[in-house]
Amino acid sequence: MKMITALVRPSKVDAIKTALVSIEVVGMTVSDVRGFGRQKGQVERYRGNEFTVDFLPKVKITTVVSDDKVDAAIAAIANAARTGEIGDGKIFVTPVETAIRIRTGDSGDAAL
């Protein structure tokens, strides 16, 4: 069981969701986040005052999948999120000990 954390462009969230659902990854959590990587910030100008905005808006998608679906899920996210420009984001994969569905008490892969 692995947790996949993807930091992506906000405009790509819908496409990523559709791609994940199509390979039957049916649960995820999204949050608005800000950050920067190689893209760094952008310069905005208001009434001639220049502002360097260091932290750009991104969306963090978190989902937990069974081991056999990890590669497919990573590929689905990467394909849906890619534009080829700097700022497409990153995917992190971490091991998860277990999972519990609160309503039924199911645990392990059955809870996903």
Partner 1 sequence: MPRTLSSGKGASVATTFDRFRTKVLAGVQDPQLRRYAFFVMAAGAGLVPLMAGSAKAALAPGVTDGADTMLMLMGSALVLLMTPGLAFFYGGFTRSKNVLNTMMMSFFLMGLIGVLWVVIGYSLAFDGGFKSPFIGGLGAMWLNGVGGELGDAALAPGFNISATSFALFQGMFAIITPALISGALVERVSFKFWFWFCLLWSLFVYSPMAKMVWGGGFLGPFGSVGAIDFAGGTVVHIASGVAALVAAAMIGSRTTWPNNNKPPHNVPFILLGAGLLWFGWFGFNGASMFAAKTAGLPFLTTTTAASAGMLAWCLIEWFKDGKPTAVGAATGAVAGLVGITPGAGFVYMGPAIAIGALTAAACFIAVRIKAAIKFDDSLDTFMVHGVGGTVGALLAGVFAAKALVPADYFPLSAKILEEGGNVGMFIAQLKAVIFSYAFVGIATAIIVAILNAVIGSRVSPEQEDRGLDFVAHGEEAYDPMTN
Are the C-beta atoms of residues 38 and 7 closer than 8 Å to each other?
no
Rounded distance between C-alpha atoms, residue 66 and residue 61, angstroms:
17
Least Cβ distance, residue 53 to partner 1 (angstroms): 7
33 is an interface residue for partner 1 by CB under 8 A: no
Rank residues 34 and 82 by Cβ distance to partner 1 and give the closer one: 34
Stretch that binds partner 1, among 3-11, 23-31, 46-54, 99-107 (CB under 8 A): 46-54
**With binding defined as CB under 8 A, does residue 48 bind partner 1?**
yes
Q: Name the residue with tokens 């502002």.
A: 51
Question: What is the rounded CA–CA span in Å between residue 41 and residue 46?
Answer: 16
Instruction: Considering only residues 53 through 72, tell me which ones interact with partner 1, judged by CB under 8 A.
Output: 53
Does position 38 bind partner 1 by CB under 8 A? Answer: no
Which range binds partner 1 by CB under 8 A, 17-25, 38-46, 84-92, 95-103?
A: 38-46
Token pair for 76: 């689905």
For residue 56, list its beta bridge partners: 35
- Binder of partner 1 out of 26, 31, 46, 84 (CB under 8 A): 46
The helix, strand and coil proportions of the chain, stated in percent and rounded to the nearest 5, come to 30, 40, 35
Interface residues toward partner 1, by CB under 8 A: 44-49, 51, 53
